[in-house]
Amino acid sequence: MSYSNQPSPNDVGVAVVGAGYWGPNLIRNFLASDTTWLWSVCDLNMDRARQVLGRHTSVEVTNDLQAILDDPRIQAVAIATPAGTHFGIAKACLEAGKHVLVEKPLALSSIEAERLVNVAAERNLTLMCDHTYCYTPAVRRIRHEATQGTLGRLQYIDSVRINLGIVQPDADVFWDLLPHDLSILDSILPAGIQPTAVSAIGVDPIGAGRSCVGYVSMTLPGEGIAHVHVSWLSPVKIRTTIIGGSHRYIVWDDVNPAQRLSIFERGVDVSTFQTPDDQRQMMVQYRSGDMLAPALVESEALADVVREFADCIRTGRRPLTDGTSGVRILKILEAVDASVAARGQLVPLEQQSIGALR
Ligand SMILES: NC(=O)c1ccc[n+]([C@@H]2O[C@H](COP(=O)([O-])OP(=O)(O)OC[C@H]3O[C@@H](n4cnc5c(N)ncnc54)[C@H](O)[C@@H]3O)[C@@H](O)[C@H]2O)c1
């Protein structure tokens, strides 16, 4: 590969808005990518943006979004500002003809997110959400197993995402952490399968004014269930997801780089039969087979997010985590809010037409 300190005509010209905690990761990956050229970073705090870029850079810094919108070199904008600003900034960018990558959550409501999807569709622009986990090697492998049918029928998903987390000023633990699990679920469920109802309990044992510990259960079609435990109040960091299928089980332990994934050829089969005296009997058989720990090539998921964004802009292909997946996730988050307010009551989810949305 030859390196040039000039943009090539094929490079997607990019700006990043927001250089706080997460923005620098996007900036680093856009700078490292051989398909994008970072022209500008916009942050209300220009000193912060300058500090992130360092002294030896030609990337411009501004605190004026309009300068980004007016710049014809910039074809695409990545937004890493607080969630409450996503809708306004994304809409302005789309209306100015820019492709948009938005941090999770896409917006603060599914209505806002649907408006962004419509504006992008009307203008033939790429709208993508940075649901980073969907691009990790582990989730790619889980998606492969799920979509190739090697897992069998999905029986359950059980996820724990807990640590001593930052109590967010503008979000509860559900809106902070749950989008990760919901986006993973959305990306591995076969097309046409979506959660049908949600029950959630959230508690605030430290008086933070918002849920800090939460438990979410989602029913899936065909007797399946997904359960997620999120918490900012755990002394240990646990990032474990178990995916149960009728043929195989997968255990994903994201804090164990030596063995993130374990695929178990194990399971339980139940069959029923009639005895001669007309009694219905049940036979339970336990299958015990090998455990496979696949070799995953370690790569930075955000580099793949950037690659996917640039590729979709150039080809017009829909991103894996497009705006409509952001809408589906927001609809579940809204149902979680409604269920928490009703102390865990089961809230049905509107079934979206997958064909129309995927
Ligand atoms: N994908 C992930 O895994 C991941 C991880 C962490 C955070 N995030 C998301 O990234 C987003 C940003 O989170 P953060 O923790 O970096 O927040 P942050 O508060 O650390 O940084 C936000 C930055 O945006 C700037 N800003 C605010 N409003 C602005 C505006 N109107 N125009 C320009 N700049 C503005 C602020 O000055 C600040 O520097 C959130 O949506 C969050 O959910 C995603």
> Over the stretch 242-260, which tens digit does the pLDDT of each residue have?
999 999 999 999 999 999 9
Residue at which a domain ends, from 109, 133, 157: 133
Q: Return the amino acid letter for 81.
A: T
How do residues 36-77 score in pLDDT, each as one tens digit? 999 999 999 999 999 999 999 999 999 999 999 999 999 999
Output the pLDDT for position 191: 76
Residue at which a domain ends, from 83, 107, 133: 133
* Mutation choice for ligand 1 from 21, 86, 89, CB with most ligand atoms inside 8 A: 21
Ranges of beta strands (E only) in the chain are 12-17, 36-42, 60-62, 76-79, 99-103, 127-130, 154-164, 197-203, 213-220, 224-231, 233-245, 249-253, 261-274, 280-292, 347-348
Output the pLDDT for position 356: 34
Output the pLDDT for position 343: 95
Residue 186 shares a structural domain with residue 207: yes
Which atom in ligand 1 lies closest to the alpha carbon of residue 302?
A: 1
76 near 126, Cβ under 8 Å? yes
Domain contains 1: no
Residue 332 shares a structural domain with residue 252: yes
pTM of the model: 0.92
Q: In percent, how much of the chain has pLDDT > 90?
A: 82
- Provide the token pair at 204: 């605030």
Output the pLDDT for position 278: 77
Residue 201 shares a structural domain with residue 126: no
Output the pLDDT for position 357: 32
Residue 181 shares a structural domain with residue 239: yes
Domain contains 315: no
Residue 122 CA to ligand 1 center (angstroms) comes to 27
CATH number of the domain to which 69 belongs: 3.40.50.720
Cα–Cα distance, 83 to 74 (Å, whole number): 23
Number of domains in the chain: 2
Domain containing residue 82: 12-133
Residue 161 shares a structural domain with residue 292: yes
Which long-range contacts link 87-93 to residues 24+ away (Cβ below 8 Å)? 87/112, 87/113, 87/115, 87/116, 89/17, 89/65, 90/116, 90/127, 91/115, 91/116, 91/119, 92/65, 93/68, 93/69
Residues of the chain with pLDDT under 50: 353-358
Output the pLDDT for position 277: 79
In the numeric block, the tokens 């605030």 are attached to 204
Output the pLDDT for position 285: 86
Domain contains 103: yes
Residue 178 shares a structural domain with residue 64: no
Write the burial class of residue 197 (CB in 10 Å: 0-12 exposed, 13-18 middle, 19+ buried): middle
Residue 21 Cβ contacting ligand 1 at under 6 Å: yes
Residue 109 shares a structural domain with residue 145: no
Residue 129 shares a structural domain with residue 150: no
Q: What is the dihedral of CA 172, 178, 180, 183, to 10 degrees?
A: -130
Residue 92 shares a structural domain with residue 241: no
Output the pLDDT for position 1: 52
